[in-house]
Structure 1
Amino acid sequence: MVKTFLDGVAIGFYRGIGEVQKIGPFSEVNFFIGPNNAGKSIVLSFIHEHLPSENKSQQGSLPLNSPLSFRGEGEGVFLAGFGIRKFNVLDSLKQKNAATFENPQSSVYQLVHDTVDRLVCDGILWQQFRGNKYVSQVFQPKISEFINISNAHGWNKLNHSFTGRSGEDIRTKALPRILRKINEGVLVGYPPVELVPAKRKLGDKEDEEFKDSSGIGLIPKLASLQDPDWQKEQERYVFDAINTFLQAVTGKPDAEIRVPHERNHLLVRMDGKLLPLDSLGTGIHEVILIAAFCTIRTEQIICIEEPEIHLHPTLQRKLIRYLQENTDNQYFIATHSAAFIDTPGASVFRVWNDGVQSYVEPALLKDDKWQICEDLGYRASDILQANMVIWVEGPSDRIYLNHWIAAVDPDLIEGTHYAIMFYGGGLVSHLSAESEGDPLGELIGLRSLNKNMAIVMDSDRDSAGAVLKSAAQRLIDEVTDERGFVWITKGREIENYVDYDDLQGVLKELHPKVYDGSWDGGEFEHAFYFKRKGKAEPYKDANKIGAARKICEQPANLGVLDLRERVTELVALIHRANGIGDAENEPQILQA
């Protein structure tokens, strides 16, 4: 599984960045997305060149007239800062000062926590290094901001605990010494940093050393993994993992990379044939190269330039999912592909330039991600909020569907993998999924909005033999194919998929003043109706949304009617729309 080694960076007067910018917090996979010349590669270049990692020391300054110096308006001193999350700061201090942290109830213990709270900015402690040694804190508060945290006695105890000194002036000696000790006490150790450049190729020379991620020396390296010495047999798992990825992207369970004796190219054994890797197309060739680089490297920080080159969006997503599930590196990726915006578990940063300098900002909200899409030149009609649209009659249907979908695949996220939209029951007769050649399509051309589409609709049948309404049958004919289907409820309404006794119990709780018992509970009855106190007619206006919310507070029961089959079909369609999993092994879409 991917890991997080670096929590954030602070950059000032470097390439396209002028005044100091704090960039973070980082996660296991981080995307820097923006148009050409926005400055997407700034953070990658900074990390690769200046992070004080195992394979290099951090440079404290840039040479005079360096091409990496800031070239915008104004001038300033190059600043390289690195961030450590608060909980990592405290963990490091505990390792170095075990006695101080023995008693969580002690005043010294609490004072350390309060002091760290003041030192961090946006939850991160920002530091500068020279070589691998701490130099100073970036954004350090003034001494006066710490004075009132504790009295002189508390500071003296902490000073003695950290430095062995006591009786010093708090403002001029003790506090500055304590703050420096806290900063120096953070155990910073970053792994090697590798850069996968935008231009990648397979080196075919036997004597080339595999020392970077440009492709030079990759074939000899793969050969050693294909047939390792008996003492290194454990290395074969790396080769097996790359083959597993090849099988996923080609859809061929027998696909396998082979390195021939001459070691001048790669072969693929597939469908009983042995072919050059190049013959599968540039996209497969490119994605296998990147996957190989990242699988061979372990527990490192890897910066990747434009992985989307020659890759279809589906391959782009498969690559990232493979890296997340099968490697243990941290990734920083510069791209102008919108396909990565909704990657689960990843951090997305918008990179833009105002004509003077570049800015890097986290894209935390949907509006931020829409702004990225606009930066990349997408129009509102080019993209939707999700890769699939599910049309339902109303809000309570949405609540149930989200609950049931989560029961089958809890990793699916509304607004990312699918969107739910309302058509309203009264519009059913006007809906048409064909946007051309049909006058009803002018009202709502569903498939012109998104080809990946499902419609969930009440059957409204009052018996098993009742005829389905003509509008519903027409939608089945127009929509049902490999990218869409219509789900007509097996019972009368979607509420008939809820256990009847559970539903009636919730209705009694919601309407205690009028509820006087259940009505009829058959699958073709109105499940929401109940007996009303003092009335012969059933109560028909129950709180559907409130009931749905209460029902969905409990684990989903998919064993009612055909609910499990239908939800499984719907999840399979969402998977296909998002390129998740092996489509060949997904349940097939059935006719309604």
Structure 2
Amino acid sequence: MNIKSIEITGWRSFSSDEGATLSDLKKINILIGPNNSGKSNLFKYLFHIRDMVRSATPRHGRRDGLSNYNLLNNVSSSFNISDTWAEEGSRIVLKLAIDEIQEFSVDGITPTLHQSKEIRLKAQHKIEEQKSCFSVLYEDELCLLEEFQDNNPKILNPENTEYVNVVEGIGYPHDTVIYWKQFAESLVFVDPVRHYSRDRAEFNESDFDGSNIVQEIIKVRNEQDTEWREFKRNMEEWLKKILIEPEVILDPTNEKLRFYIKRGTKEIAASFENMGTGVSQLVMLLSFLHINRNRNLNVFIEEPESNLHPEAVVQLVKIIENNFPKHKFFITTHSSILIDQVNDNWTINRVYRKSTNASKILPCTELLQQYDLLDELGIRASQLLQSNTVIWVEGPSDRTYVNKWISDNNPSLIEGKHYTFLMYGGSNLANYDLVDDDDDYINLLKTSRYSVIICDSDKSAEADELKGRVVKIIERVATMTFDDGRNLGDYVYIWVTSGREIENYVPKEIFDDVLSSEPYLRKFLYENDGAGQKQRKDLIFETDDIEFDPFVAFDIFYAKKYKFDEGTPLAAGHITNIANDLSKKKAGIAKLVVAKWTMEHYRSDELKKNIANVIEHIEKANFYGEI
């Protein structure tokens, strides 16, 4: 029974008039904001009402089998004025919608409402009267039962929307109790401080904190062979990804969890209690989720970044996203590390305080909204060290080609998330360097720790020397080392084209196709007739079997394919004009070229090698390919 939307008013930092809304909830739902913004208040409320529903005591029975249908209609509660918005003592109200659910039963009774209507639950709390009512909404505002009626409340007649006395056969009298009981059992709360030796959740606002999870794992190992094999295989694979270890082996004794981790050529045994706090958190949380993977759960996790490396948090959320289809996750954080992980299975929700000091929740679906969120968190670009990888290119057409090549050879890499392009403008490379100690140059590494620099060789022949600006960058990367043994090449990859420019990698048949058709085919030009008049002369574009010279600019090569329709060659000035026109249109030409580029066009071994090296560099920048 997963949550689809939540509306809450009157509870703590959520005002009694506007309140807060979470809608269009998905697999992973992030609530992010600075300290004291109200992120945790929603979790705390749901925790309290779950306990209220669980502890509701059955009353005396009725002979017609309709006993306790009003069990949750007028429940004693312990909310205080301090639990209300601005301590006004106003009513606390919750409304939430539930995703489509399969048929289920509670105590042998099967509800009927979900067969025809969206399920919407409602909870209300009268603070002064210390009363709570848990109801089910019918067509948004009508409730199945009369609210807050202590004895034998009437039930809604859906045909005339009037309330009538409950009698046997009237239909869904127990639905309110069944849905709320089922919903309460779907809620799981994970606090930010989890330790295997704790006996209870601190402050009584969380129920899973790692207590006794070790005993549950060992019980699975001793009593459920098939389940244990699956659990062991998954846990070892997950820990390898999160901890970036070549091998992790889970091998518990009869009393303790024990791991073997490779260190060089040796396998080192590590007991659970001797592992770091962050590692033990991972093991306990993933173990709990795996053991309960067949339940439909709404899992509320507080600040998973506590005691965890940022990349470990990213990998943890990816694992729970991909491996627990029946769970929906709600995660509070004040860290920015999850923002760029958003996909169609995620929502990012900014929690902030208004001028009235009330908490508001807004979805962050646009880039500018995410910028606002970073400002709210006090995060500056210099603190983030910018993009994971910056690919420096001479111009926009280079970006089009390289983006296509990366996408074709590793579709999981996403521009704007795993890498970003910046343009240095050809000869402007002479103004860039890779060090901090020269004020005359722009430091490329100030934009990113990892960079790829792609340069046209600009050679007119294979034996020509490279330009001085390119040689300087290559030498800097080759010679600069650090005290720990690393070198600048660990952070910067240089790709100098084997031919004159990046267009020389394009197979001739693609260029022939693109440049011999609209909108790039030239059909005529004007020539001075000697009498001061311009005469239109038609052109023909000749396709031939002459190979694309790798040391001739593509615009010159293809400008020379034009002749006048009577067969006479063009003058040098005409060729230059056509070449200049093609050069100005490089960006548009590149888009048409990549649209026609297929995997069979990767024929150059040198191109394939550089693409593989660029992808490897991007993967390293995104933590060793775990993306």
- Same fold, judged at TM 0.5 (above): yes
Distance 1:6 1:41, change over 3 A: same
Residue among 76, 81, 86 paired with 1:72? 86
- Does the aligned pair in 2 maintain the 1:50–1:80 contact within 8 Å? no
Partner residue in 2 for 1:113:
none
* One-letter amino acid of the structure 1 residue matched with residue 246 of structure 2: P
Partner residue in 2 for 1:332:
330
- Does the aligned pair in 1 maintain the 2:2–2:328 contact within 8 Å? yes
Partner residue in 2 for 1:567:
611
Q: Distance in 2 between matches of 1:287 and 1:473?
A: 48
Partner residue in 2 for 1:199:
193
SS at match of 2:21: strand
Partner residue in 1 for 2:459:
461
Task: Choose 519-528 or 360-369, whichever is displaced more.
Answer: 519-528
Distance 1:96 1:280, change over 3 A: closer
Alignment partner of 1:516 is 2:560: no
Q: Distance in 1 between matches of 2:233 and 2:53?
A: 28
1:322-358, Cα deviation, whole Å (9 max, x unpaired) = 2222333211111111111111422111111135211
Structure holding more strand per residue: 2
Q: Distance in 2 between matches of 1:423 and 1:516?
A: 34
Distance 1:95 1:304, change over 3 A: closer
Q: CA deviation at 1:431?
A: 1.6
- Does the aligned pair in 1 maintain the 2:391–2:452 contact within 8 Å? yes
Partner residue in 2 for 1:43:
42
- Does the aligned pair in 1 maintain the 2:434–2:476 contact within 8 Å? yes
Partner residue in 1 for 2:14:
17
- Does the aligned pair in 2 maintain the 1:73–1:356 contact within 8 Å? no
Distance 1:217 1:59, change over 3 A: farther
Q: Distance in 2 between matches of 1:52 and 1:501?
A: 70
Q: CA deviation at 1:254?
A: 3.1
Partner residue in 2 for 1:471:
469
What does 1:91-490 correspond to in 2, within 5 Å?
A: 96=115, 128=122, 134-136=136-138, 190=183, 192-203=186-197, 212-230=207-225, 233-263=226-256, 266-270=258-262, 271-298=266-293, 299=295, 300-328=297-325, 329-345=327-343, 346-354=346-354, 356-383=357-384, 386-434=387-435, 436-441=436-441, 444-479=442-477, 481-490=489-498
* One-letter amino acid of the structure 2 residue matched with residue 313 of structure 1: P
Distance 1:93 1:526, change over 3 A: farther
Q: Distance in 2 between matches of 1:348 and 1:489?
A: 41
User: What is the RMSD computed on CA atoms of the aligned residues?
Assistant: 3.8
SS at match of 1:339: coil
Q: CA deviation at 1:139?
A: 8.0
- State the identity %: 23
Larger Rg: 2
Distance 1:489 1:261, change over 3 A: same
1:176-220, Cα deviation, whole Å (9 max, x unpaired) = xxxxx9xx99x9975712111111100388xxxxx9421111111
Alignment partner of 1:81 is 2:116: no
Q: CA deviation at 1:269?
A: 4.7
TM-score normalised to structure 1 length: 0.75
* One-letter amino acid of the structure 2 residue matched with residue 522 of structure 1: D
TM-score normalised to structure 2 length: 0.71
Q: Distance in 2 between matches of 1:234 and 1:382?
A: 44
Distance 1:69 1:129, change over 3 A: closer
- Does the aligned pair in 2 maintain the 1:241–1:326 contact within 8 Å? no
Q: Distance in 2 between matches of 1:60 and 1:418?
A: 57
Structure 1: gaps spanning 5 or more residues:
98-115, 117-123, 141-162, 174-180, 206-210, 584-592
- Does the aligned pair in 2 maintain the 1:389–1:420 contact within 8 Å? yes
* One-letter amino acid of the structure 2 residue matched with residue 464 of structure 1: E
SS at match of 1:468: coil
Task: Choose 366-375 or 523-532, whichever is displaced more.
Answer: 523-532
Alignment partner of 1:29 is 2:28: yes
- Does the aligned pair in 2 maintain the 1:258–1:269 contact within 8 Å? no
SS at match of 2:94: strand
SS at match of 1:552: helix
- Does the aligned pair in 2 maintain the 1:397–1:494 contact within 8 Å? yes
Structure 2: gaps spanning 5 or more residues:
57-71, 103-110, 125-132, 143-156, 163-171, 200-205, 478-487, 524-539, 565-569
